[in-house]
Structure 1
């Protein structure tokens, strides 16, 4: 299996040539935007040809000194990436190649220092490719230039992979060709004269999943469909240009070409050429100089404790002519919904956890999510439903505590067994030492300012050890615990009985804890529940899945590459919390300027934390959203019994059965769920060979 930055290069370099025009391509983009604004003054998204967008990007000059400043600032943020010590030589069973993160960055720095890049795009493309080889949805670097355009195959549209019976190898179809129920839709045989499945396999390694089957599914429209179904990485990919057109060959012998486009939201006013593009978007000066005040930014960017990839594919509503699936209960944003099947399957209920975002348009989005589950399970008890399918297909995570809450509602007596740990780095130790000292010494200088950190992520009162006991001091929590791959903090679990901490984390107290100890009885026996996943499950979904697995639940996986054999339930990142570069820099800034005396500041200047404050600000200015475009996985999930503390990110965990998706998942979702139920509680012969 070849790595993304090797395998994908062939796809990219085989693309058509660049725009040949007298006028500068970035100037043409600016003019196209001006015309589209004139036609629609309310427009926020703009479109140009993929070829023109790529020509604009490659016309932007490379500036060695700026690139070195960016690279040298990155290291202080990457200190916090919890899987860093395992990536170069990953444990046996890891399903994708390892990567030498530090070595790769050193090679890019050497090339940048010798001014060997032809343009800024080439530099950022190589740095972006290195980040993608980590295959971690919590490890991101959305830089100013590379994130400007999203390349879109909108004329062809999203793809789906469908089997005729759930066991035969699936074929690739254009969603537009099959969503109307056409029996004559022809499968796609080739893409750009390559086997369609092989093309998708290669391109999928641009994704952030850690499993080949999840990477493959991530290219496709997420099934079963819902109002928040993701369109898939084939339709839209940021910064990855594969030509101005895409050629498709069908099994019926037809061959068609479809135009590729590029969409963008950036304001190109004043941009005339590559130099003016760089000055407007890539200098880093204007963003770093206009950073929001610390308090305002923390409230804006850290409202909830999250575990979710940096962005989800845009949603897409399938044809209205398709049979509508009516939920019994549904959250305001559609992220969780409950259904009752009908006819011979009327004894079966389905809880569809499409995400754990809890981002409804209400004052209490997390409570809305939690209460939707509560009301649906009450409906199941009242109507005496006998079986429950829990579908997490396409669930890329969200608010951390919603994963725990869903688990405790489904299995009220279930135990939280999997703790988390962090790299025992200098920055973490300095931060935790300072915060906990000030919280425990209210008369100390700066103690009043640090009170805002109480019951937050650096207060040890937010955690208990795996046996449920409080850590008595920062040093007892920080350790470090020395394992073969490095030094880590001691394992911990959230103290869900700490109500102030729960409220600070988003306002939700997890069911079964604090003032919510009275939880309704378990609605279904474990053997009468099964969880369905397409492997895209990540982040908070990984937390939920692990909780359910450790308490005896079984899983069915669907889709993946057209091959026999097992598949992982969780193919996305298994880390348990993500932090942005901006949030990390804010913490360092608080410790250095707000919580320390002048004498202490002088001592901190040459520490990694002090260096982040001074060198990290430029990095924030080179990323989208004031530094929120850079992120790290802040916590590993580990097993208490594993003394080597191998992050679950590197542990291969196959499901109990695997099936391929059929057209029913698109055309008649309830019939699809019924087929899944009958195969699990009936004919298990429908599981793929070698997958049980």
Structure 2
């Protein structure tokens, strides 16, 4: 809104007026050095050309087999030491004393509930799946060890029930979701199927990148010793594509078809196309997480091939959400709901959702709003693409393909030029004025199963189409109480009581609407 002066007066419909002082808030990390005029502010923070040359941020959804701009070349044995953080206090603020916790990220911890009726209950608290200030491989190695440690201690103490608390979890590294699933269900194959909307620019980026796939995948900055300007431009283009999380999904060779199980070894096979609702998409694809890698192995592969069974069966797992679960968190939820019960019985994990507010439109029972709350309400796509990824990929492809870079070929390269040079794209790039990642899109569709490859999961009703419908034995929704505000223990106990306590669902959960 426009600046209204030192004070702003608000007038409400009932005639009441409230005057408040105008206050300017400056985001943490904003650097105003040298800004003395409006023109100076625009140059530093608003000029799109200021973004040129800014390196794209490392994506939070990269499969571990390709390096990102923050990945190191250390071995798995010492990768956790690549990013040393200050020592952490023994507990997370307002949380009880943990049975286990991570070593640096401050986002993963495990707890053993105490008291009558709670002795066999474990809580795994996951506030996100990747901290922004830690090396991705260091985080994954530590995350794997933290989960393994919690399961080992749970087996030692004969714990049988697990609550996975993903409150406020907005996602992170997709590999972490598959790692947790692999440790909980080591004998179950994780289903995955994704695709990408196939625009002309996507096809061009895929074709050009695929032609140089060997150089892109094996790119080594230490091998460059040319001074020829053309070679320098090519070197920078290959380097950019090597670190680009979107391009990784458009180069054949490391992706497979979930339908046939075959390796998508050619660009044509990867591009498909698949036609959904009169729109064009790439072929369905998945990354085989059980492959042995050099730096990090998902449980079930390589040096993690033989692991003890999980102490928790699907019947004794509760997913606790506050509706904010999205991205990688939604991927974990989808994986958990895909597992049947013991002896392949059609039993899913249980769902507890906390929060929300009464909605009179749903009707009330005993003055309490009825109706369920969606367990996952954020975008459950498979991967985000930063605008910087799109921008850098388009610039690199134009360098590598003289034909597309021709100014006389405007109808064929229009989309690429918009991505590489368009004002709106530059304006939305990460790093303008030193800021964080600014623009991104949900780049990959995710699908529930081979039986439903028509509708991406972000267009489904989570409770009905993914959970399979809510009922009194698999779902519980409750509001926060005063005692829950001061710490998570009471939130966990309420979820435990609803499914495993004597009072059960009828007294502890909001009524389900008809």
| TM-score strictly above 0.5 | yes
Q: Distance in 1 between matches of 2:512 and 2:205?
A: 49
CA distance in 1: counterparts of 2:19 and 2:327, whole angstroms: 34
Q: Where do residues 175-186 of structure 1 align in structure 2 (5 Å cutoff)?
A: none
Residue 352 of structure 1: CA displacement? 0.8
Cα shift readout 1:118-153 (whole Å, capped 9, x = no counterpart) = xxxxxxxxxxxxxxxxxxxxxxxxxxxxxxxxxxxx
CA contact (8 A) 2:320 2:352 kept: yes
Alignment equivalent of 1:687, drawn from 476, 495, 509:
509
Counterpart CA distance in 1 for 2:38 and 2:350 is: 55
1:49-448 matches, within 5 Å, as 245=20, 262-264=25-27, 265-269=29-33, 271=35, 274-288=38-52, 291-292=53-54, 297-298=55-56, 301-302=58-59, 305=62, 325-331=96-102, 332-344=104-116, 345-358=118-131, 361=134, 364-439=138-213
Please state how far the C-alpha of 1:543 moved relative to its aligned partner.
Answer: 0.3
Aligned-pair CA distance for 1:613:
5.2
- The answer as to whether partners of 1:356 and 1:541 remain within 8 angstroms in 2 is yes
CA contact 2:404–2:413 (8 Å) conserved in 1:
no
Question: How far did residue 657 of structure 1 move?
Answer: 2.0
Specify which of 244, 251, 255 is matched with residue 459 of structure 1. Answer: 251
| CA deviation after TM superposition for structure 1 residue 438, in Å | 2.9
How far off is 1:488 after superposition?
Answer: 0.9
- CA separation of 1:589/1:406 partners in 2, compared to 1, >3 Å: closer, same or farther? same
- Measured against aligned partners, the alpha-carbon deviations of 1:431-457 in whole angstroms (never above 9, x if no partner) come to 112222333799xx9999859749933
Q: Structure 1 residues 484, 624: CA separation in 2 closer, same or farther (over 3 Å shift)? A: closer
| Native 8 Å contact 1:623 1:630 kept in 2 | yes
Taking a change above 3 Å as real, the CA distance of residues 278 and 660 of structure 1, as seen in their structure-2 partners, is: same
Deviations 1:554-582 (A, max 9, x none): 21111112232011111111111111111
Structure 2 residues without counterparts, runs of 5 or longer: 64-90, 217-229, 340-347, 360-369, 464-469
Residue in 1 aligned with 2:478? Answer: 659
Instruction: Classify the secondary structure of the residue corresponding to 1:601.
Output: coil
Shift of 1:614: 4.7
- Measured after TM superposition, the shift of residue 601 of structure 1 is 3.2
| Aligned mates of 2:487, 2:397 — CA distance in 1 | 55
In 2: Cα distance, 1:194 partner to 1:379 partner: 60
Shift of 1:464: 1.3
SS of corresponding position for 1:429: helix
In the alignment, the residues of structure 1 paired with residue 171 and residue 13 of structure 2 have an alpha-carbon distance, to the nearest angstrom, of: 34
What CA distance in whole angstroms lies between the structure 1 residues aligned with 2:494 and 2:107?
23
What is the CA–CA distance in structure 2 between the aligned matches of 1:286 and 1:323, rounded to whole Å?
42
Which moves more between the two structures, 429-438 or 600-609? 600-609
1:675 and 2:438 equivalent? no
1:577 corresponds in structure 2 to 383
Partner Cα distance (1:531, 1:691) in 2: 21
Q: What is the Cα deviation at residue 283 of structure 1? A: 3.0
Paired position in structure 2 for 1:516: 304
Kindly indicate whether the alpha-carbon contact (under 8 Å) linking 1:358 and 1:369 is maintained by their aligned counterparts in 2. Answer: no
Contact 2:121 2:161 in 1 (8 A): yes
Please give the per-residue CA displacement for 1:332-358, whole angstroms capped at 9, x wherever unaligned. 222110000112112111111111015
**What is residue 632 of structure 1 aligned with on the other side?**
441
RMSD of aligned Cα (Å): 3.6
CA distance in 1, matches of 2:22, 2:395: 47
- As a proportion of its length, which structure holds more helix? 1
In the alignment, is residue 477 of structure 1 matched against residue 273 of structure 2?
Answer: no
2: distance between equivalents of 1:277 and 1:450? Answer: 34
What is the CA–CA distance in structure 1 between the aligned matches of 2:397 and 2:414, rounded to whole Å? 12
Aligned to 1:607: 413
Tell me by how many angstroms 1:647 deviates.
Answer: 1.9
Distance 1:460 1:521 in 2: 35
Q: What corresponds to 2:365 in structure 1? A: none
| 3-state SS in 1 of match to 2:167 | coil
Q: TM-score, normalised by structure 1?
A: 0.55
Shift of 1:495: 2.1
| Distance change >3 Å, CA 498–CA 585, structure 1 → 2 | farther
- Maintained 8 Å contact 1:462/1:498: no
TM-score by length of structure 2 reads 0.72
Q: Secondary structure at the match of 1:364?
A: helix
Residue-by-residue CA offset, 1:592-611 (whole Å, 9 max, x unaligned): 11x33x34532865424531
Q: Tell me by how many angstroms 1:375 deviates.
A: 0.4
Give a deviation string over 1:344-383, Cα, whole Å, max 9, x none: 1121111111110155757712111111011001100010
Q: Distance in 2 between matches of 1:608 and 1:397?
A: 34
Structure 1 unaligned regions, length at least 5: 1-11, 21-50, 53-190, 196-242, 246-257, 307-319
Counterpart-to-counterpart distance in 2, 1:676 and 1:407 = 21
Instruction: Report what 2:396 is aligned to.
Output: 590
3-state SS, counterpart of residue 460 of structure 1:
coil
Q: How far off is 1:323 after superposition?
A: 6.4
Contact 1:339/1:349 (<8 A) preserved: yes
C-alpha contact 2:177 2:332 (8 A) present in aligned 1: yes
Q: Which residue in 2 is equivalent to 1:542?
A: 330
Q: Deviations over 1:61-116 (max 9, x none)?
A: xxxxxxxxxxxxxxxxxxxxxxxxxxxxxxxxxxxxxxxxxxxxxxxxxxxxxxxx
Matched, 1:556 2:313: no
Q: How many residues align?
A: 422
Q: Compare 459-468 and 608-617 and name the one that shifted more.
A: 608-617
Shift of 1:648: 1.2
Partner of 2:466: none
Contact 1:585-1:616 at 8 Å conserved across structures: no
